[in-house]
Amino acid sequence: MTSSTYTCQCGARLRYRQDMERRPGGRHANWVCGDCGLPVPGGVAQRLRHQHPS
């Protein structure tokens, strides 16, 4: 399986769940960039959540 990465508008590279923060909201949690707080697209966040740094 290849690893997914996402480059936020602030320039941060998100690779793992630890790179994002979870914000509660409605039925589903919203995931945002851990550096700047900009929202991460849902499909991208779902892929990154399941990746582990090991």
Q: Give the mean model confidence (pLDDT) for residues 6-12.
A: 97
pLDDT tens digits, 12-47 = 999 999 999 999 877 888 999 999 999 999 999 999
Q: C-alpha distances in angstroms, 52 versus 15, 24, 38?
A: 9, 22, 22
Residue-level pLDDT at 30: 92
* Half-sphere exposure at residue 21, Cβ-oriented, CA atoms within 13 angstroms: 9
Q: Are 37 and 47 in contact (CB under 8 A)?
A: no
Residue-level pLDDT at 3: 80
Residue-level pLDDT at 1: 55
Domains in the chain: boundaries: 6-49
